Chains A and B, each alone.
Chain A
Amino acid sequence: MREPLIFQHSRSGRSAVAQYPHGEKADVPAALRRKQPPNLPEVSELQAVRHFTRLSQLNFSIDTHFYPLGSCTMKYNPRACNQNAMLPEFLSRHPLGPDSAGQGFLSCMYELQEMLKEVTGMKGVSLTPMAGAQGEFAGVAMIRAYHKARGDLQRTEIICPDAAHGTNPATATMCGCSVIEIPSLPSGDIDFEALKKAVGPKTAGIMLTNPSTLGVFERRIEEVARVVHEAGGLLYYDGANLNAILGKVRPGDMGFDVIHMNLHKTFSTPHGGGGPGSGAVGVNQRLLPFMPVPVVGKEGDRYRWLDERDLPQTIGRLSAFMGNAGVLLRAYVYMRMLGRAGMQRVAEFSALNANYMLARLKQAGFDAAYPDRRASHEFIITMKRQAKELGVNAMDFAKRLLDYGFHAPTTYFPLLVPECLLIEPTETESKQEIDAFIDALIAIEKEALEDAAKVKGAPYTLPVRRLDDVRAAKQLDLTYQERSG
Chain B
Amino acid sequence: MPFIPHTDTDVKEMLAAIGAPAIDSLFDEIPASLRIQSLAGIPEALTEMEVNRLMQSRAQRDGRPLNFIGAGAYEHHIPAAVWAIVTRGEFYSAYTPYQAEASQGTLQLLYEYQTMMASLTGMQVSNASLYDGASALAEACLMAVRANRKSKSARILVPTTVNPTYLEVSRAIAEGQQLTFETVAYTPGTGTTAASAFNAYSGQDITAVVIQHPNFFGLLEDVDAITDWAHANGALVIAVVNPMSLAILKPPGEWGAKGVDVVVGDGQPFGVPLSSGGPNFGFMTTRMEHVRQMPGRIIGRTVDLDGKPGFTLTLQAREQHIRRSKATSNICTNQGLLVTAGTIYMSLLGASGLEQVASTCQRRTSELVAALTKVKGVKLAFAGPRFHEAVLQLDRKVSDVIEALASRGIIGGFDLSRRYPELGNALLVCATETRTDEDIAAYAKALAEVLK
| B11-38 interface bits toward A, Cβ cutoff 8 Å, 1 = contact, 0 = none | 1011101111001101111110111101
Other 8 A-B pairs with CB < 8 A, given A176-B177, A320-B277, A464-B100: A16-B350, A86-B83, A275-B334, A340-B39, A373-B29, A399-B101, A463-B101, A479-B119
Q: Is B118 interfacial (CB-CB < 8 Å)?
A: yes
Partner of B347, one of A38, A48, A254: A48
The listed residue (B79, B95, B132, B254) touching A320 by CB distance below 8 A is B132
Encode B296-329 as 1/0 by CB contact (under 8 A) with A.
0111111111101011101111011111111101
Q: Is A469 an interface residue (CB 8 A)?
A: yes
Q: Is the CB of A34 within 8 A of B65?
A: no
Q: Is the CB of B310 within 8 A of A463?
A: yes
Which residues of A have CB within 8 Å of B85? 49, 52-53, 56
B51 A427 Cβ-Cβ under 8 A: no
A437 interface residue per 8 A CB criterion: no
A185 within 8 A of B: no
A402 touches B102 (CB 8 A): yes
A338 part of interface (Cβ distance < 8 Å): yes
Note all chain B residues with C-beta closer than 8 A to A37.
351-352, 355
Query: For the complex, what is the distance from the CA of A324 to the CA of B44, rounded to whole Å?
Result: 26
Q: Does A389 have its Cβ within 8 Å of any Cβ on chain B?
A: no
Assess the A97–B406 pair: CB atoms within 8 A.
yes
* Minimum CB distance partner of A244 in chain B: B27
Q: Are B34 and A98 in contact (CB under 8 A)?
A: no
Asked whether, in the complex, the Cβ of A337 is within 8 Å of the Cβ of B39, the reply is no
Complex CA–CA separation, A58 to B99 (angstroms): 12
8 Å CB contact of A467 from B30, B73, B303 = B303
B251-275 interface bits toward A, Cβ cutoff 8 Å, 1 = contact, 0 = none: 1001000000000001000000111
The answer to whether B377 has its CB under 8 Å from any CB of chain A is no
For this complex, 23 residue pairs linking A to B, each with C-beta atoms less than 8 Å apart, are A31-B250, A40-B119, A55-B104, A59-B105, A67-B95, A89-B60, A91-B274, A166-B322, A167-B332, A174-B173, A270-B93, A274-B97, A276-B333, A316-B169, A318-B172, A321-B278, A322-B278, A337-B45, A343-B39, A344-B38, A348-B24, A478-B118, A478-B298
Given the interface pairs A320-B163, A464-B100, the reply to whether A63 lies near B403 with Cβ below 8 Å is no
- What is the total number of residues of chain A having a CB less than 8 Å from a CB of chain B? 202
B26 touches A374 (CB 8 A): yes
A197 within 8 Å of B (CB atoms)? no
Give complex CA distance A324, B333 in Å.
13
Interface readout for B118-130 with A: 1 if CB under 8 Å, 0 if not? 1110001110110
- Bitwise interface map of A from 35 to 65 toward B, beta carbon under 8 Å scored 1, else 0: 1011111110100110111111111111111
**Nearest CB to that of A323 among chain B residues?**
B278
- Which of B80-134 touch A at CB < 8 Å? 81, 83-85, 87-106, 108-109, 111-112, 114-116, 118-120, 124-126, 128-129, 131-134
Cβ–Cβ contact B99 & A19, under 8 A: no
Q: Which residue, A95, A250, A273, A336, has most C-beta atoms of chain B within 10 A?
A: A273
| CB proximity of A276 to chain B, nearest CB, Å | 4
Report A95-132 CB contacts with B as 1/0, cut-off 8 Å. Answer: 11110111111011000001101110000000000111
Whether B4 sits at the interface, judged by CB under 8 Å, is yes
Whether a CB of chain B sits under 8 angstroms from the CB of A291 is no
Pick from B99, B312, B348: contact of A407, CB under 8 Å: B99
Are A478 and B58 neighbours in the complex by a CB distance under 8 Å?
Answer: no
Q: Is B46's beta carbon under 8 Å from chain A?
A: yes
Contact status A27-B61, CB under 8 Å:
no
Interface centre among A102, A171, A319, A469 (most CB of B within 10 A): A319
Determine if B69 and A94 form an interchain contact, defined as CB atoms under 8 angstroms apart.
Answer: yes
Hey, which chain B residues are within 8 Å of A475, CB to CB? 302
Whether the Cβ atoms of A94 and B6 lie closer than 8 Å is: no
| Chain B residues with CB under 8 A of A154 | none
Asked if B277 and A95 make an inter-chain contact with CB atoms under 8 angstroms apart, the answer reads yes
What is the CA–CA distance of A283 and B240 in the complex, to the nearest angstrom? 33
Say yes or no: A21 contacts B300, CB within 8 Å: no
B203-211, B226-234, B358-366, B444-452 - interface stretch:
B358-366
Known: A118-B42, A340-B44. A429 touches B5 (CB 8 A): yes
> In whole Å, how far is B73's beta carbon from the nearest beta carbon of chain A?
6
The residues of A that contact B176 with a CB separation of less than 8 Å are 141, 144, 174-176
Residues of B within 8 A of A20 (CB): 349, 352-353, 356-357
Stretch from B182-190, B337-345, B389-397 that touches the partner: B337-345
In the complex, what distance in Å separates the CA atom of A323 from the CA atom of B23? 37
Which residues on B sit within 8 Å (CB–CB) of A480? 111-112, 115
Question: In whole angstroms, what is the CA distance A248 to B224 when docked?
Answer: 60
The segment from A72-80, A226-234, A380-388, A443-451 that touches chain B is A72-80
Across the interface, which residues of B come within 8 angstroms of A476, CB to CB? 125, 288, 291, 300, 314-315
For B55, give its contact among A115, A333, A478 (CB under 8 Å).
A333
A43 contacts B347, C-beta separation under 8 Å: yes
CA distance A78 to B94 in the complex (A): 14
Residues of A within 8 A of B36 (CB): 247-250, 253
Q: Which of B145-153, B194-202, B241-249 contacts A (4 or more CB under 8 A)?
A: B241-249
* Residues of chain B with a CB closer than 8 A to A324's CB: 278-279
Residue of B62, B83, B118, B352 ringed by the most chain A CB atoms within 10 A = B62
A301 within 8 A of B: no
Report whether B102 and A82 are in contact in the complex, using a CB–CB cutoff of 8 Å.
Answer: no
Q: A316-B171, A408-B99 are in contact. Are A276 and B106 (CB under 8 A)?
A: no
**Contact code string A322-359 (vs B, CB < 8 Å = 1, else 0):** 11111101000101111111111101110111011001
Residue in B45, B64, B133 whose CB lies within 8 Å of A339: B45
Q: In the complex the two chains form, what is the Cα distance from A439 to B411 in whole Å?
A: 59
Question: Is B239 at the interface (CB under 8 A from chain A)?
Answer: no
Q: Are A119 and B42 CB-contacts (below 8 A) given A61-B93, A174-B330?
A: yes
A96, B73: Cβ atoms closer than 8 Å: yes
User: Does A150 lie at the interface of the complex (its beta carbon under 8 Å from any beta carbon of B)?
Assistant: no
A417 to B105, CA, bound (A): 31
Nearest Cβ on chain A to B437's Cβ, whole angstroms: 11
Q: How far is the CA of A105 from the CA of B436 in the complex (A)?
A: 27
Which residues 151-167 of B sit at the A interface, judged by CB distance below 8 A? 163, 165-166
Roughly how many angstroms separate A118 CA and B414 CA in the complex, as a whole number?
35
B contact residues around A21 at 8 Å (CB): 77, 356-357, 360, 433
Task: A369 to B174: give the CA distance in the assembly, Å.
Answer: 39
